[in-house]
Structure 1
Amino acid sequence: MLINQSVDNYDRETSQHIVAYLDILGIAARMKQGYEQQKLAMNKLHNLYTFSMDISKKIDMVGYNDIQFKIFSDNIIIVKKLSEQSDKRLLDIKVLLNCVSNFQCLAAKDSVGWLVRGGISIGELFIDETMVWGEALLRAYDLESNSAIYPRILLDPSVISNIAFDKELTDYTQKDFDNLYFLNYLHIQHFGGQFLKNGFQMMLDELNGSYSARIYQKLCWHMNYVNRALEKKDRKYRLHLEQ
Protein backbone atom coordinates (compact mmCIF):
# COMPACT_ATOMS: atom_id res chain seq x y z
CA MET A 1 0.00 0.00 0.00
CA LEU A 2 1.35 3.42 -0.95
CA ILE A 3 1.81 5.90 1.88
CA ASN A 4 -0.92 8.57 1.87
CA GLN A 5 -2.08 7.46 -1.56
CA SER A 6 -5.54 8.75 -0.75
CA VAL A 7 -4.33 12.33 -0.30
CA ASP A 8 -1.15 12.37 -2.40
CA ASN A 9 -1.35 12.08 -6.18
CA TYR A 10 2.24 10.83 -6.44
CA ASP A 11 2.67 13.28 -9.31
CA ARG A 12 6.14 14.61 -8.50
CA GLU A 13 8.64 14.19 -11.30
CA THR A 14 12.13 15.24 -12.26
CA SER A 15 13.01 17.77 -14.95
CA GLN A 16 16.15 19.28 -16.44
CA HIS A 17 18.17 21.40 -14.00
CA ILE A 18 21.68 22.71 -13.64
CA VAL A 19 23.06 21.86 -10.20
CA ALA A 20 26.11 23.01 -8.27
CA TYR A 21 27.24 20.98 -5.27
CA LEU A 22 29.80 22.90 -3.20
CA ASP A 23 31.97 22.13 -0.20
CA ILE A 24 33.66 24.87 1.81
CA LEU A 25 37.05 23.58 2.84
CA GLY A 26 37.79 23.67 6.55
CA ILE A 27 34.25 24.34 7.81
CA ALA A 28 34.05 21.01 9.66
CA ALA A 29 37.15 21.95 11.65
CA ARG A 30 35.71 25.40 12.40
CA MET A 31 32.52 23.81 13.72
CA LYS A 32 34.61 21.96 16.33
CA GLN A 33 36.15 25.16 17.68
CA GLY A 34 34.83 27.28 20.53
CA TYR A 35 31.39 28.88 20.55
CA GLU A 36 32.52 32.28 19.27
CA GLN A 37 34.50 30.77 16.40
CA GLN A 38 31.56 28.57 15.44
CA LYS A 39 29.22 31.55 15.57
CA LEU A 40 31.54 33.60 13.36
CA ALA A 41 31.83 30.82 10.77
CA MET A 42 28.07 30.25 10.72
CA ASN A 43 27.31 33.92 10.18
CA LYS A 44 30.02 34.26 7.53
CA LEU A 45 28.44 31.40 5.60
CA HIS A 46 24.95 32.87 5.86
CA ASN A 47 26.16 36.28 4.75
CA LEU A 48 28.18 34.73 1.94
CA TYR A 49 24.92 33.35 0.54
CA THR A 50 23.09 36.65 1.00
CA PHE A 51 25.77 38.83 -0.59
CA SER A 52 26.43 36.49 -3.51
CA MET A 53 22.73 36.52 -4.39
CA ASP A 54 22.49 40.29 -3.95
CA ILE A 55 25.47 40.92 -6.22
CA SER A 56 24.11 38.52 -8.82
CA LYS A 57 20.75 40.29 -8.87
CA LYS A 58 22.35 43.73 -9.19
CA ILE A 59 23.83 42.70 -12.53
CA ASP A 60 20.26 43.01 -13.88
CA MET A 61 20.36 39.58 -15.45
CA VAL A 62 16.91 38.04 -15.50
CA GLY A 63 16.44 34.63 -13.99
CA TYR A 64 17.83 34.93 -10.47
CA ASN A 65 14.50 34.81 -8.67
CA ASP A 66 14.07 31.08 -9.16
CA ILE A 67 17.57 30.01 -8.14
CA GLN A 68 17.33 27.71 -5.13
CA PHE A 69 19.94 27.44 -2.37
CA LYS A 70 20.18 24.73 0.26
CA ILE A 71 22.91 24.95 2.90
CA PHE A 72 23.63 22.12 5.31
CA SER A 73 26.78 22.28 7.42
CA ASP A 74 29.70 22.79 5.02
CA ASN A 75 27.80 21.79 1.90
CA ILE A 76 25.81 24.02 -0.43
CA ILE A 77 23.50 23.14 -3.30
CA ILE A 78 22.63 25.80 -5.87
CA VAL A 79 19.98 24.80 -8.40
CA LYS A 80 18.21 26.32 -11.39
CA LYS A 81 15.60 24.74 -13.62
CA LEU A 82 16.42 24.84 -17.32
CA SER A 83 14.12 26.05 -20.05
CA GLU A 84 13.29 23.79 -22.98
CA GLN A 85 13.94 26.70 -25.36
CA SER A 86 17.59 26.73 -26.45
CA ASP A 87 18.20 30.49 -26.07
CA LYS A 88 16.56 30.64 -22.65
CA ARG A 89 18.36 27.46 -21.64
CA LEU A 90 21.73 29.11 -22.29
CA LEU A 91 20.64 32.11 -20.25
CA ASP A 92 19.62 29.79 -17.39
CA ILE A 93 23.06 28.16 -17.49
CA LYS A 94 24.76 31.56 -17.52
CA VAL A 95 22.73 32.72 -14.52
CA LEU A 96 23.76 29.68 -12.49
CA LEU A 97 27.44 29.90 -13.48
CA ASN A 98 27.47 33.60 -12.66
CA CYS A 99 25.81 33.05 -9.29
CA VAL A 100 28.27 30.30 -8.32
CA SER A 101 31.18 32.45 -9.55
CA ASN A 102 30.07 35.29 -7.29
CA PHE A 103 29.83 32.87 -4.37
CA GLN A 104 33.32 31.46 -4.94
CA CYS A 105 34.85 34.86 -5.63
CA LEU A 106 33.41 36.41 -2.46
CA ALA A 107 34.56 33.43 -0.43
CA ALA A 108 38.17 33.89 -1.56
CA LYS A 109 38.26 37.62 -0.80
CA ASP A 110 39.08 39.32 2.48
CA SER A 111 35.52 39.53 3.77
CA VAL A 112 35.56 35.73 4.22
CA GLY A 113 38.89 34.08 3.31
CA TRP A 114 37.64 30.57 2.48
CA LEU A 115 38.29 28.12 -0.34
CA VAL A 116 35.50 26.29 -2.16
CA ARG A 117 35.48 22.97 -4.00
CA GLY A 118 32.62 21.45 -5.98
CA GLY A 119 30.99 20.15 -9.11
CA ILE A 120 28.35 21.41 -11.55
CA SER A 121 26.17 19.11 -13.65
CA ILE A 122 23.09 19.22 -15.89
CA GLY A 123 20.44 16.54 -15.76
CA GLU A 124 17.23 15.30 -14.19
CA LEU A 125 16.36 16.64 -10.75
CA PHE A 126 13.45 17.16 -8.38
CA ILE A 127 13.67 19.80 -5.65
CA ASP A 128 11.17 21.26 -3.19
CA GLU A 129 11.19 22.43 0.43
CA THR A 130 11.58 18.87 1.65
CA MET A 131 13.90 16.97 -0.66
CA VAL A 132 16.39 17.02 -3.50
CA TRP A 133 16.47 13.99 -5.79
CA GLY A 134 18.09 13.17 -9.10
CA GLU A 135 21.08 11.99 -11.05
CA ALA A 136 22.24 15.55 -11.75
CA LEU A 137 22.91 15.98 -8.03
CA LEU A 138 24.69 12.62 -7.86
CA ARG A 139 27.06 13.61 -10.67
CA ALA A 140 27.79 17.03 -9.13
CA TYR A 141 28.45 15.38 -5.77
CA ASP A 142 30.71 12.78 -7.37
CA LEU A 143 32.77 15.51 -9.04
CA GLU A 144 33.19 17.32 -5.74
CA SER A 145 33.99 14.28 -3.59
CA ASN A 146 36.07 12.18 -5.98
CA SER A 147 37.65 14.41 -8.61
CA ALA A 148 37.86 18.10 -7.63
CA ILE A 149 40.59 17.60 -4.96
CA TYR A 150 41.74 21.23 -5.23
CA PRO A 151 39.67 24.37 -4.53
CA ARG A 152 38.04 24.24 -7.93
CA ILE A 153 34.48 23.60 -9.10
CA LEU A 154 34.57 20.99 -11.83
CA LEU A 155 32.21 21.13 -14.80
CA ASP A 156 30.57 17.90 -15.87
CA PRO A 157 30.67 17.01 -19.61
CA SER A 158 26.92 17.70 -19.61
CA VAL A 159 27.70 21.36 -18.91
CA ILE A 160 30.58 21.62 -21.38
CA SER A 161 28.51 20.13 -24.21
CA ASN A 162 25.73 22.67 -23.62
CA ILE A 163 28.01 25.72 -23.74
CA ALA A 164 30.70 24.57 -26.19
CA PHE A 165 29.56 26.86 -29.02
CA ASP A 166 28.78 29.95 -26.95
CA LYS A 167 31.85 32.19 -26.61
CA GLU A 168 30.42 34.16 -23.71
CA LEU A 169 29.75 31.02 -21.70
CA THR A 170 33.06 29.33 -22.49
CA ASP A 171 34.75 32.26 -20.75
CA TYR A 172 33.42 30.70 -17.54
CA THR A 173 35.58 27.61 -18.13
CA GLN A 174 39.25 26.67 -17.93
CA LYS A 175 40.94 23.35 -18.62
CA ASP A 176 43.26 22.25 -15.84
CA PHE A 177 46.55 20.31 -15.95
CA ASP A 178 44.61 17.01 -15.72
CA ASN A 179 42.35 17.96 -18.67
CA LEU A 180 39.32 18.50 -16.43
CA TYR A 181 37.27 21.66 -16.91
CA PHE A 182 36.60 23.91 -13.93
CA LEU A 183 34.65 27.09 -13.28
CA ASN A 184 36.78 30.14 -14.11
CA TYR A 185 35.14 32.20 -11.38
CA LEU A 186 37.62 35.09 -11.66
CA HIS A 187 36.18 35.70 -15.11
CA ILE A 188 33.65 37.95 -13.35
CA GLN A 189 36.25 39.81 -11.27
CA HIS A 190 36.47 43.49 -12.28
CA PHE A 191 39.09 43.68 -10.56
CA GLY A 192 40.41 43.60 -7.00
CA GLY A 193 43.73 41.92 -6.63
CA GLN A 194 44.25 43.44 -3.21
CA PHE A 195 41.04 41.83 -1.91
CA LEU A 196 42.22 38.42 -3.15
CA LYS A 197 45.67 38.91 -1.64
CA ASN A 198 44.18 39.95 1.70
CA GLY A 199 41.84 36.95 1.58
CA PHE A 200 44.79 34.63 0.98
CA GLN A 201 46.60 36.14 3.94
CA MET A 202 43.52 35.48 6.08
CA MET A 203 43.71 31.80 5.09
CA LEU A 204 47.39 31.65 6.05
CA ASP A 205 46.81 33.49 9.33
CA GLU A 206 44.05 31.07 10.29
CA LEU A 207 46.38 28.13 9.67
CA ASN A 208 49.05 29.89 11.73
CA GLY A 209 51.89 28.39 9.72
CA SER A 210 50.80 24.82 10.41
CA TYR A 211 49.36 22.86 7.51
CA SER A 212 49.66 19.39 6.04
CA ALA A 213 50.99 18.52 2.60
CA ARG A 214 47.38 18.17 1.37
CA ILE A 215 46.45 21.65 2.56
CA TYR A 216 49.65 23.04 1.07
CA GLN A 217 48.72 21.56 -2.32
CA LYS A 218 45.29 23.21 -2.16
CA LEU A 219 46.80 26.56 -1.24
CA CYS A 220 49.28 26.24 -4.11
CA TRP A 221 46.52 25.47 -6.59
CA HIS A 222 44.56 28.53 -5.47
CA MET A 223 47.68 30.71 -5.55
CA ASN A 224 48.60 29.64 -9.07
CA TYR A 225 45.06 30.14 -10.40
CA VAL A 226 44.78 33.61 -8.87
CA ASN A 227 48.25 34.62 -10.07
CA ARG A 228 47.41 33.68 -13.65
CA ALA A 229 44.47 36.07 -13.48
CA LEU A 230 46.49 38.78 -11.76
CA GLU A 231 49.16 38.64 -14.47
CA LYS A 232 46.77 40.45 -16.79
CA LYS A 233 45.45 43.22 -14.55
CA ASP A 234 46.84 43.44 -11.01
CA ARG A 235 50.27 41.81 -11.10
CA LYS A 236 51.51 43.72 -8.05
CA TYR A 237 49.08 41.73 -5.88
CA ARG A 238 50.38 38.29 -6.86
CA LEU A 239 50.08 35.73 -4.07
CA HIS A 240 53.10 34.13 -2.41
CA LEU A 241 53.38 31.02 -0.28
CA GLU A 242 56.43 29.85 1.62
CA GLN A 243 57.31 26.15 1.57
Structure 2
Amino acid sequence: MMLVRGGVDNYDRETSQHIVAYLDILGIAARMKRGYERQKLAMNKLHNLYDFSMNISKEIDMEGYSDIQFKIFSDNIIIVKKLSEQPEKRLLDIKALLFCVSNFQCLEVKDSVGWLVRGGISIGELFIDETMVWGEALLKAYDLESNSAIYPRILLDSNLLPQIGPDEELTEFVRKDFDNLCFLNYLYIQHFGGQFLKNGFQMMLDELNGRYSERVYQKLCWHMNYVNRELDRKDEKKDRKYRLCIESLKEGVTN
Protein backbone atom coordinates (compact mmCIF):
# COMPACT_ATOMS: atom_id res chain seq x y z
CA MET A 1 0.00 0.00 0.00
CA MET A 2 1.24 3.49 -0.81
CA LEU A 3 0.05 6.89 0.40
CA VAL A 4 0.44 9.86 -1.94
CA ARG A 5 -1.01 13.17 -0.66
CA GLY A 6 -3.58 11.29 1.34
CA GLY A 7 -4.54 8.91 -1.47
CA VAL A 8 -4.33 5.16 -0.96
CA ASP A 9 -3.11 2.66 -3.52
CA ASN A 10 -3.50 -0.96 -2.48
CA TYR A 11 -1.04 -2.26 -5.09
CA ASP A 12 -3.70 -4.75 -6.15
CA ARG A 13 -3.25 -4.55 -9.93
CA GLU A 14 -2.44 -7.90 -11.49
CA THR A 15 -1.59 -9.27 -14.89
CA SER A 16 -3.71 -11.97 -16.52
CA GLN A 17 -3.65 -14.03 -19.70
CA HIS A 18 -4.20 -12.00 -22.87
CA ILE A 19 -3.62 -12.34 -26.58
CA VAL A 20 -1.80 -9.27 -27.89
CA ALA A 21 -1.06 -7.94 -31.37
CA TYR A 22 1.63 -5.29 -31.78
CA LEU A 23 1.50 -3.61 -35.21
CA ASP A 24 3.75 -1.12 -36.98
CA ILE A 25 2.35 0.75 -39.97
CA LEU A 26 5.11 1.13 -42.53
CA GLY A 27 5.84 4.61 -43.86
CA ILE A 28 3.84 6.66 -41.36
CA ALA A 29 6.88 8.63 -40.16
CA ALA A 30 7.63 9.69 -43.74
CA ARG A 31 4.00 10.72 -44.27
CA MET A 32 4.15 12.93 -41.18
CA LYS A 33 7.06 14.85 -42.69
CA ARG A 34 5.33 15.63 -46.00
CA GLY A 35 3.38 18.66 -44.87
CA TYR A 36 0.31 19.34 -42.80
CA GLU A 37 -2.30 18.11 -45.27
CA ARG A 38 -0.62 14.74 -45.83
CA GLN A 39 -0.06 14.07 -42.15
CA LYS A 40 -3.66 15.10 -41.45
CA LEU A 41 -4.89 12.64 -44.09
CA ALA A 42 -2.73 9.85 -42.62
CA MET A 43 -3.98 10.58 -39.10
CA ASN A 44 -7.62 10.44 -40.19
CA LYS A 45 -7.09 7.25 -42.20
CA LEU A 46 -5.62 5.59 -39.11
CA HIS A 47 -8.48 6.73 -36.91
CA ASN A 48 -10.98 5.44 -39.46
CA LEU A 49 -9.19 2.10 -39.55
CA TYR A 50 -9.90 1.74 -35.86
CA ASP A 51 -13.53 2.84 -36.25
CA PHE A 52 -14.27 0.44 -39.10
CA SER A 53 -12.39 -2.44 -37.44
CA MET A 54 -14.50 -2.14 -34.30
CA ASN A 55 -17.79 -1.28 -36.01
CA ILE A 56 -17.73 -4.59 -37.83
CA SER A 57 -18.69 -6.16 -34.49
CA LYS A 58 -22.14 -4.68 -35.11
CA GLU A 59 -22.37 -6.53 -38.42
CA ILE A 60 -21.24 -9.95 -37.25
CA ASP A 61 -22.33 -12.12 -34.36
CA MET A 62 -18.93 -13.00 -32.92
CA GLU A 63 -18.69 -13.58 -29.20
CA GLY A 64 -16.06 -11.46 -27.46
CA TYR A 65 -15.38 -9.08 -30.35
CA SER A 66 -16.81 -5.99 -28.69
CA ASP A 67 -14.44 -6.04 -25.70
CA ILE A 68 -11.25 -6.05 -27.78
CA GLN A 69 -9.10 -3.08 -26.77
CA PHE A 70 -7.03 -0.80 -29.02
CA LYS A 71 -4.14 1.50 -28.12
CA ILE A 72 -2.81 3.71 -30.94
CA PHE A 73 0.30 5.84 -30.63
CA SER A 74 1.65 7.35 -33.83
CA ASP A 75 2.44 4.47 -36.22
CA ASN A 76 2.13 1.71 -33.61
CA ILE A 77 -1.05 -0.10 -32.64
CA ILE A 78 -1.73 -2.56 -29.84
CA ILE A 79 -4.82 -4.77 -30.10
CA VAL A 80 -5.61 -6.77 -26.96
CA LYS A 81 -8.12 -9.42 -25.86
CA LYS A 82 -8.34 -10.99 -22.43
CA LEU A 83 -8.41 -14.78 -22.53
CA SER A 84 -10.87 -16.97 -20.72
CA GLU A 85 -9.66 -19.86 -18.57
CA GLN A 86 -12.30 -22.11 -20.13
CA PRO A 87 -10.80 -23.94 -23.16
CA GLU A 88 -13.77 -23.50 -25.53
CA LYS A 89 -14.24 -19.84 -24.63
CA ARG A 90 -10.49 -19.30 -24.93
CA LEU A 91 -10.57 -20.47 -28.55
CA LEU A 92 -13.39 -18.02 -29.25
CA ASP A 93 -11.30 -15.23 -27.71
CA ILE A 94 -8.34 -16.13 -29.92
CA LYS A 95 -10.57 -16.28 -32.98
CA ALA A 96 -12.06 -12.85 -32.21
CA LEU A 97 -8.61 -11.25 -31.92
CA LEU A 98 -7.28 -12.90 -35.10
CA PHE A 99 -10.41 -11.87 -36.98
CA CYS A 100 -10.11 -8.29 -35.72
CA VAL A 101 -6.44 -7.98 -36.69
CA SER A 102 -7.14 -9.62 -40.06
CA ASN A 103 -9.94 -7.17 -40.76
CA PHE A 104 -7.66 -4.25 -39.78
CA GLN A 105 -4.94 -5.50 -42.15
CA CYS A 106 -7.39 -6.15 -44.98
CA LEU A 107 -8.69 -2.59 -44.72
CA GLU A 108 -5.14 -1.23 -44.72
CA VAL A 109 -3.94 -2.88 -47.91
CA LYS A 110 -7.05 -2.22 -49.99
CA ASP A 111 -7.86 0.92 -51.93
CA SER A 112 -9.50 2.74 -49.04
CA VAL A 113 -6.06 3.19 -47.44
CA GLY A 114 -3.17 1.56 -49.37
CA TRP A 115 -0.72 0.92 -46.51
CA LEU A 116 1.45 -2.00 -45.42
CA VAL A 117 1.79 -3.24 -41.85
CA ARG A 118 4.00 -5.70 -40.00
CA GLY A 119 3.76 -7.01 -36.46
CA GLY A 120 3.58 -9.85 -34.01
CA ILE A 121 0.90 -11.67 -32.03
CA SER A 122 1.62 -13.41 -28.74
CA ILE A 123 -0.11 -14.87 -25.70
CA GLY A 124 0.95 -14.22 -22.13
CA GLU A 125 0.57 -12.17 -18.97
CA LEU A 126 -0.59 -8.58 -19.44
CA PHE A 127 -2.09 -5.66 -17.55
CA ILE A 128 -3.95 -2.94 -19.44
CA ASP A 129 -6.04 0.03 -18.37
CA GLU A 130 -6.56 3.63 -19.48
CA THR A 131 -3.08 4.57 -18.22
CA MET A 132 -0.69 1.76 -19.05
CA VAL A 133 0.02 -1.50 -20.84
CA TRP A 134 2.43 -3.86 -19.10
CA GLY A 135 3.50 -7.47 -19.48
CA GLU A 136 5.48 -10.18 -21.20
CA ALA A 137 2.86 -10.73 -23.89
CA LEU A 138 3.45 -7.21 -25.18
CA LEU A 139 7.24 -7.65 -25.06
CA LYS A 140 7.03 -10.87 -27.08
CA ALA A 141 4.73 -9.34 -29.71
CA TYR A 142 6.98 -6.27 -29.96
CA ASP A 143 10.06 -8.46 -30.33
CA LEU A 144 8.44 -10.37 -33.21
CA GLU A 145 7.61 -7.12 -34.99
CA SER A 146 10.93 -5.35 -34.45
CA ASN A 147 13.39 -8.22 -34.81
CA SER A 148 11.80 -10.91 -36.96
CA ALA A 149 8.86 -9.77 -39.10
CA ILE A 150 10.96 -7.70 -41.60
CA TYR A 151 8.30 -8.00 -44.32
CA PRO A 152 4.69 -6.73 -44.18
CA ARG A 153 3.54 -9.77 -42.25
CA ILE A 154 2.25 -10.30 -38.71
CA LEU A 155 4.18 -13.15 -37.12
CA LEU A 156 2.51 -15.61 -34.76
CA ASP A 157 4.44 -16.48 -31.62
CA SER A 158 5.31 -20.13 -31.07
CA ASN A 159 3.32 -20.06 -27.81
CA LEU A 160 0.16 -19.24 -29.77
CA LEU A 161 0.36 -22.00 -32.37
CA PRO A 162 -0.33 -24.97 -30.02
CA GLN A 163 -3.45 -23.21 -28.72
CA ILE A 164 -4.76 -22.84 -32.26
CA GLY A 165 -3.97 -26.53 -32.54
CA PRO A 166 -6.50 -28.81 -34.18
CA ASP A 167 -9.22 -26.18 -34.61
CA GLU A 168 -9.90 -26.35 -38.35
CA GLU A 169 -11.12 -22.79 -38.73
CA LEU A 170 -8.32 -21.22 -36.70
CA THR A 171 -5.62 -23.07 -38.66
CA GLU A 172 -6.77 -21.16 -41.77
CA PHE A 173 -5.36 -18.02 -40.14
CA VAL A 174 -1.87 -19.56 -40.21
CA ARG A 175 0.62 -19.62 -43.09
CA LYS A 176 4.24 -20.78 -42.89
CA ASP A 177 6.69 -18.55 -44.76
CA PHE A 178 9.91 -19.37 -46.66
CA ASP A 179 11.92 -18.95 -43.41
CA ASN A 180 9.63 -21.36 -41.50
CA LEU A 181 8.09 -18.55 -39.47
CA CYS A 182 4.30 -18.57 -39.21
CA PHE A 183 2.34 -15.43 -40.00
CA LEU A 184 -1.28 -14.30 -39.96
CA ASN A 185 -3.13 -15.21 -43.14
CA TYR A 186 -5.38 -12.16 -42.98
CA LEU A 187 -6.82 -12.75 -46.45
CA TYR A 188 -8.55 -15.84 -45.07
CA ILE A 189 -11.49 -13.57 -44.20
CA GLN A 190 -11.45 -11.79 -47.57
CA HIS A 191 -13.54 -12.97 -50.51
CA PHE A 192 -13.78 -11.45 -53.99
CA GLY A 193 -11.40 -8.68 -53.02
CA GLY A 194 -8.87 -8.89 -55.84
CA GLN A 195 -9.83 -5.61 -57.46
CA PHE A 196 -9.60 -3.71 -54.16
CA LEU A 197 -6.23 -5.30 -53.39
CA LYS A 198 -4.85 -4.44 -56.81
CA ASN A 199 -6.07 -0.86 -56.53
CA GLY A 200 -4.56 -0.60 -53.05
CA PHE A 201 -1.22 -1.85 -54.36
CA GLN A 202 -1.30 0.74 -57.10
CA MET A 203 -1.88 3.41 -54.44
CA MET A 204 1.30 2.24 -52.69
CA LEU A 205 3.30 2.45 -55.92
CA ASP A 206 1.85 5.84 -56.82
CA GLU A 207 2.75 7.24 -53.40
CA LEU A 208 6.36 6.16 -53.93
CA ASN A 209 6.32 7.92 -57.29
CA GLY A 210 8.34 5.23 -59.03
CA ARG A 211 11.41 5.32 -56.75
CA TYR A 212 12.08 3.27 -53.64
CA SER A 213 14.96 1.63 -51.83
CA GLU A 214 15.89 -2.03 -52.13
CA ARG A 215 14.39 -2.67 -48.69
CA VAL A 216 11.07 -1.10 -49.69
CA TYR A 217 11.13 -3.04 -52.96
CA GLN A 218 11.56 -6.31 -51.03
CA LYS A 219 8.57 -5.48 -48.84
CA LEU A 220 6.43 -4.67 -51.86
CA CYS A 221 7.46 -7.94 -53.50
CA TRP A 222 6.61 -9.94 -50.38
CA HIS A 223 3.15 -8.37 -50.26
CA MET A 224 2.66 -8.92 -54.00
CA ASN A 225 3.62 -12.60 -53.78
CA TYR A 226 1.45 -13.26 -50.73
CA VAL A 227 -1.65 -11.64 -52.26
CA ASN A 228 -1.19 -13.43 -55.59
CA ARG A 229 -0.74 -16.81 -53.89
CA GLU A 230 -3.87 -16.35 -51.80
CA LEU A 231 -5.97 -15.22 -54.76
CA ASP A 232 -4.75 -18.30 -56.65
CA ARG A 233 -5.56 -20.48 -53.66
CA LYS A 234 -9.11 -19.14 -53.44
CA ASP A 235 -9.57 -19.73 -57.18
CA GLU A 236 -12.45 -17.30 -57.31
CA LYS A 237 -13.21 -16.66 -60.98
CA LYS A 238 -14.05 -13.02 -60.41
CA ASP A 239 -10.54 -12.39 -59.03
CA ARG A 240 -8.43 -14.28 -61.57
CA LYS A 241 -7.72 -11.16 -63.60
CA TYR A 242 -6.58 -9.21 -60.54
CA ARG A 243 -2.94 -9.98 -59.80
CA LEU A 244 -0.39 -7.60 -58.37
CA CYS A 245 2.64 -6.75 -60.51
CA ILE A 246 5.72 -4.67 -59.82
CA GLU A 247 8.35 -5.95 -62.28
CA SER A 248 7.70 -3.18 -64.77
CA LEU A 249 8.82 -0.64 -62.16
CA LYS A 250 11.98 -2.41 -61.01
CA GLU A 251 14.16 0.22 -62.64
CA GLY A 252 13.01 2.63 -59.94
CA VAL A 253 14.87 0.73 -57.21
CA THR A 254 17.72 2.60 -55.53
CA ASN A 255 20.42 1.34 -53.21
* TM-score greater than 0.5 by the shorter chain: yes
Contact 2:108 2:116 in 1 (8 A): yes
Q: How does 1:144-183 map to 2 (within 5 A)?
A: 144-183=145-184
Q: 1:238 to 1:56 in 2, by over 3 A?
A: farther
- In structure 1, the gaps of 5 or more residues are none
TM-score (norm 1): 0.97
Contact 1:123 1:135 in 2 (8 A): yes
Partner of 1:239: 244
**Shift in Å at residue 213 of structure 1?**
0.2
Q: Give the AA of the match of 1:123.
A: G
Partner of 2:26: 25
- The answer to whether structure 1 residue 210 and structure 2 residue 180 are counterparts is no
Distance 2:139 2:3 in 1: 26
TM-score (norm 2): 0.93
Partner of 1:91: 92
Once structures 1 and 2 are overlaid, which stretch shifts more, 61-70 or 111-120?
Answer: 61-70
Q: Give the AA of the match of 2:51.
A: T
Runs of 4+, deviation exceeding 4 Å: none
CA-to-aligned-CA distance 1:72-95 (integer Å, 9 cap, x gap): 000000000000000000000000
Q: How does 1:1-243 map to 2 (within 5 A)?
A: 2=2, 4=4, 7-231=8-232, 232-233=235-236, 234-242=239-247, 243=250
Contact 1:154 1:180 in 2 (8 A): yes
Contact 2:2 2:11 in 1 (8 A): no
Contact 1:227 1:235 in 2 (8 A): no
Distance 1:3 1:32 in 2: 44
Q: State the identity as a percent.
A: 82
SS of the residue 2:160 aligns to: helix
CA RMSD of aligned residues (A): 1.2
Distance 2:139 2:106 in 1: 25
Contact 1:56 1:102 in 2 (8 A): no
Q: 1:3 to 1:152 in 2, by over 3 A?
A: farther
Once structures 1 and 2 are overlaid, which stretch shifts more, 229-238 or 95-104?
Answer: 229-238
Distance 2:231 2:38 in 1: 32
SS of the residue 2:67 aligns to: coil
